[in-house]
Structure 1
Amino acid sequence: MKIIPIITAVLVTAFLYLLVFERDELLSFAQADAAEDPQSTTEASDVVTATAPDEADAESDSIRVYAVKSVAQQIDSAVILRGQTEAARMVQVRAETSGQVISEPLRKGTYVSNGQLLCHLDAGTRSASLAEAEARLAEAKARIPETQARVDEAMARLDEAKINDNAASKLSQGGFASETRVASAQASVRAAEAGVASAKSGLESTGAAIQSAEAAIAAVQKDIDRLQVTAPFEGLLETDTSELGSLLQPGGLCATVLQLDPIKLVGFVPETEVDRIEIGALSGARLAGGQEVQGRVTFLSRSADQTTRTFRVEIQVPNKDLSIRDGQTAEIIVSADGTKAHLLPQSALTLNDDGDLGVRTISGDGRAEFVALKLLRDTAKGVWVSGLPEKADVITIGQEYVVDGVAVTPTFEEPKE
């Protein structure tokens, strides 16, 4: 058994005992030795003097932080949206009557002009129906002279009956005519009036027959006009037109037509940013393929989406070469009034006890102070914020360890470009 490790352990144990339990006696013994050695006392005094400033710093309330001297810059406060392209107009052209298609189909992608024939339907028996309605009209018009003559004849008989009634009444007053004659004359007047009413009724019936025939002609003619299904506006066919020989019923799809010039960019702006967008504002967009376009705001919804609480924004963009398609993803930027802002690292942002977003700055007397901010834009270099004065000393590291009124000792960093 080796005795040296045992002796070493005993000495270490004894030293620890003296250091912990007999510390006062050990220090008294050391000071007595120092009093006997003036040179050692001088060296100890130098050590105390050298360490005094460090102990003073440790006892100070000032907290060391890193900060940056930030100066406000003028930026274009644009509103950034995510959206997609949308055709200016898209219509599913459908048949309004039934019939078999007798025209050759046009293939999708064909450029059609306004009013161009898309689907032509077979007339069937509509020509015969038109001819029948025209014949009824001619027949009704032919009865007009006859019914008018009956009215004239009835009017003449009425005039004659009134003359006879007047004469009979006067003769009866002089005693030259009997009451029977007077009654007979009055009966003749009533019969003549009934004849006039009957003749006028026949004339009105003829007029009604004419109107009915004209309405039938107009209905058949309108149905014939619907046999030709045409393009409602200039654009591109998104689908083939109906195939030759297919049967279309009312509401049957003939073709789908898109108008892509101009085209719309559609985005949705949150309610916090909607007041910054105005009709006519200059806008730009970058499509998923890298193409960049420009236009102006033409529509801003007054009603929010019930689910997302966002407002629809439409931007009209020229598309002469039809290179922009319907439904492409787009990153939209809508210009707004410029503003002064500070570019700060995102790590400098913090929250106060009320949950407000902001930063801690250094006041003129060297104390920490919280300032609430409004976040304008997030970039790769940092965040643009407003709410600070023109120049501000912003704490970037250590802001989480201080509160308002605490003295700080800043170390300033170079601001970001």
Structure 2
Amino acid sequence: MKPIPVIIAVIVTAFLFFFVIQREQLLDFASGGEDSPPEIVETSEPTETIESPQDVVRVVAIQSSARLIDSAVVLRGETEATRQLDVMAETSGLVVSEPLRKGALVEAGQLLCEIDPGTRLASLAEAQARLASAKAAAPAAQAVVEQARAALEEARINGNAAERLSEDGFASETRVAATQAAVRAAEAGVSSALSGLESAQASIESAEAGVAAAQKEIDRLKVFAPFGGLLETDTAEIGELLSANSPSGAHCATIIQLDPVKLVGFVPETEVNRVHLGARAGARLTDGSQVVGEVTFLSRAADETTRTFRVEITVNNADLAIRDGQTVEIIIASDGKSAHLLPQSVLTLNDEGSLGVRIVTEDKRADFVSVTMLRDTIDGVWLAGLPQEANVIVIGQEYVIPGVPVEASYQETNE
């Protein structure tokens, strides 16, 4: 074995030992040992911790300022007809009118169904005849009353005369008693005549009631539209039997009124105090069309199951473009709020699952701020909960936690 490679290996090993293990002594030897080790001076003042460049996280942020926006309550709901009614017949009989087809526009008071009168006209004539007879009997009863009153007056005169003659001794007590009996009989006659007159008047009233009932029954033969709207069903077919004794058998037609139309939604109890009667409201239908109206009803009682409150918005629908039962997204105007318009990508969650954003503090550290989303738009999301001025991290927010030092470069915002 040649000694030269062994010697070289020993030299390299010794060099590495002194360079790595005994580095401080080697440097001290090289400097000649002139410099003494620095003294450590204790002080009561705290020293600042200076982060090394490797500890600072580079992020991108934007300088955002809060603005006052119209806050809105957003709901999911549906359209609802202002009125919807199943028009029922009040009497029974066969339909004799031509049917109107569903989808037809009807006016208030328009004839929908007509029923065969049958014997109702004869019943009316009979009732009118009874009324005429009762009215004819009334004068005779009145004459009897007048006759009885005259007989009573005559009996009283005779009675008074008999009493005076009896006082003077010209009439006997028997005659006085007879005249008094005649007075009482006349009084009874008047009472009987009055009873007859009252009976005649009662007959007249009964006959008038019979005529009114017969006329009402005839009036019920025609069924009219109670309000203007659209026929949702065909009216009853000609020849169909309508039965007033059975609700299902007395159906004439179904009418709905769509102008104006209602937008119905349910407000959660956390938002109900932000909704007021008369507030402006808008809605977007599934086909993209938009309508505007105002709040006309807000329930005072919550739904027992959902704990929400019914709200209704009235919207003009003259062209009947809005149908009953369409899904709508309702936006109800409320008091304005201060908010920041930021990209949706800045939203993140903390360890507790709260929604928020990460910002750069004045001492150049990251922090987390919980926010509330007010509105989602094409330009971004409106967020409440941030200070008036905030440096919001838009790139790198997922790589920092509160307290981490950051170095931010700022983007310009297009406002």
- TM-score tier after normalising by the smaller chain length: 0.7 to 0.9
Q: Do residues 87 (structure 1) and 85 (structure 2) align?
A: no
Query: Hey, what's the Cα distance between the residues in 2 that align with 1:277 and 1:30?
Result: 78
Cα shift at 1:109: 1.1
Cα shift at 1:327: 1.1
* Structure 2 counterpart of 1:317, from 304, 315, 318: 315
Query: Hey, what's the Cα distance between the residues in 2 that align with 1:333 and 1:128?
Result: 62
Cα shift at 1:114: 1.6
Q: Do residues 117 (structure 1) and 111 (structure 2) align?
A: yes
Structure 1 residue runs without a partner (length 5+): 1-23, 39-54
Identical positions, percent: 57
| Residue in structure 2 matched with residue 409 of structure 1 by the alignment | 406
On the 8 A contact 1:85/1:327 being kept in 2, the answer is yes
Query: Hey, what's the Cα distance between the residues in 2 that align with 1:199 and 1:57?
Result: 124
Q: Do residues 298 (structure 1) and 296 (structure 2) align?
A: yes
What one-letter code is carried by the residue in structure 2 that aligns with 1:214?
E
| Residue in structure 2 matched with residue 340 of structure 1 by the alignment | 338
| Residue in structure 1 matched with residue 276 of structure 2 by the alignment | 278
Cα shift at 1:205: 0.3
Q: Do residues 133 (structure 1) and 130 (structure 2) align?
A: no
Per-residue CA distance 1:123-163 (angstroms, 9 max, x = gap) = 11111111111111111111112111111111111111111
Cα shift at 1:186: 1.1
RMSD: 3.4
SS at 1:323's partner residue?
coil
| Residue in structure 2 matched with residue 375 of structure 1 by the alignment | 373
Q: Do residues 101 (structure 1) and 95 (structure 2) align?
A: yes
Cα shift at 1:271: 2.5
What one-letter code is carried by the residue in structure 2 that aligns with 1:265?
L
* Structure 2 counterpart of 1:245, from 239, 244, 252: 239
On the 8 A contact 1:346/1:383 being kept in 2, the answer is no
Structure 2 residue runs without a partner (length 5+): 1-16, 32-48
If each structure's helix is expressed as a fraction of its own residues, which one has the higher value?
1
On the 8 A contact 2:60/2:411 being kept in 1, the answer is no
What one-letter code is carried by the residue in structure 1 that aligns with 2:373?
L
On the 8 A contact 1:361/1:368 being kept in 2, the answer is yes
Query: Hey, what's the Cα distance between the residues in 2 that align with 1:157 and 1:368?
Result: 119
Per-residue CA distance 1:73-132 (angstroms, 9 max, x = gap) = 343323222111222221111101111101111111112122111110011111111111
| Residue in structure 2 matched with residue 222 of structure 1 by the alignment | 216
Tell which deviates more after alignment, 388-397 or 152-161. 388-397
Cα shift at 1:171: 2.1
Tell which deviates more after alignment, 81-90 or 67-76. 67-76
Query: Hey, what's the Cα distance between the residues in 2 that align with 1:37 and 1:380?
Result: 70
On the 8 A contact 2:360/2:406 being kept in 1, the answer is no
What one-letter code is carried by the residue in structure 1 that aligns with 2:276?
E
Query: Hey, what's the Cα distance between the residues in 2 that align with 1:409 and 1:301?
Result: 51
Query: Hey, what's the Cα distance between the residues in 1 that align with 2:301 and 2:409?
Result: 49
What one-letter code is carried by the residue in structure 2 that aligns with 1:137?
L
Query: Hey, what's the Cα distance between the residues in 2 that align with 1:34 and 1:334?
Result: 79
Q: 1:67 to 1:191 in 2, by over 3 A?
A: same
Q: Do residues 384 (structure 1) and 382 (structure 2) align?
A: yes
Aligned length: 377
On the 8 A contact 2:18/2:26 being kept in 1, the answer is no
What one-letter code is carried by the residue in structure 1 that aligns with 2:214?
V
What one-letter code is carried by the residue in structure 2 that aligns with 1:386?
A
Per-residue CA distance 1:41-73 (angstroms, 9 max, x = gap) = xxxxxxxxxxxxxx9635999887765432223
